[in-house]
Amino acid sequence: MLLAIDIGNTTIALAGVHKGKVTAIQRMDTSDDPGVLVLRLNKALAIFHKKGYIFNRGVLCSVVPKILTVVEQTLIKSMGFKPKVVGRDVIVPIKNRYKNPKQVGQDRLVGAYAALRLYGQPLIVIDLGTAITFDVVSARGEYLGGAIVPGLRLSAESLFLKTALLPKIVLKAPGDIIGKTTEESMLSGLFYGYGVLCQGMVDLLSRRVGARSPRPHVVMTGGHTHLMKKFVSPKVRIIDEDLVFKGMALLASL
């Protein structure tokens, strides 16, 4: 079984993948403290072990270089194998049209590649993580680039940290677009606001792909997908929360 680990700025997600299917996922907060990080990783690995998961290979995708090193060394020590690292040991096989290809996060390329393989082109991938990214793949199967905006959690924390009276809130879907309390108003602004943003970006990016191309498939993924999906329908018809893990599994077999 393959152990796939997606290392983000705020969350590290670990998944067991068997024959291309994600069978279990664990998430943990990212930590700058190596000792804390190692403890959390070993705890997550122990839970997998108790559930009967036996990993014989691994693949890592990271946007945090210094944490990547800690995770890689922990796996070598705890699991007894050296994982492949996306961007170093395995290159995402998609034509990258960014002006400086090295500036594109490996997670964005992995998601675009997975969506291309699974759903065809042209396409738009919306990844709801620390940042919300919009990635575009052309009708020729080339990665064109996209757009980046602050994610739900980041925006909510900014409102709390940068204002005197707005509270820290737990992210949950609002019941009504008209908030009757400060918390409800913040949730409405975040969810309905980002829903409209996503819908508008899909329309703009779809037109930019070109009138001569088929309308792009739109795929949504990322940790906040389950919260946001009803706020972007019907613009998004493909929901795949495991997209990056599936892409990592495809890369591990190369």
Residues marked active site are found at: 107
Q: How far apart are CA 135 and CA 133, in angstroms?
A: 6
Q: Which two tokens stand for residue 96?
A: 């990258």
Q: Which residues, at least 6 apart from 232, have a Cβ–Cβ distance to it below 8 Å?
A: 126, 195, 198, 199, 202, 220
CA 20 to chain centre: 17
d(CA 48, CA 32): 23
**Which pair of tokens denotes residue 153?**
């959690």
Would you tell me how many other CB atoms lie within 10 Å of the CB of residue 211? 7
CB 30 within 8 A of CB 7: yes
Helix (H), strand (E) at residue 69: helix 65-79
Phi, psi of 236 (to 5 degrees): -105, 120
Distance of CA 253 to the CA centre of its chain: 21
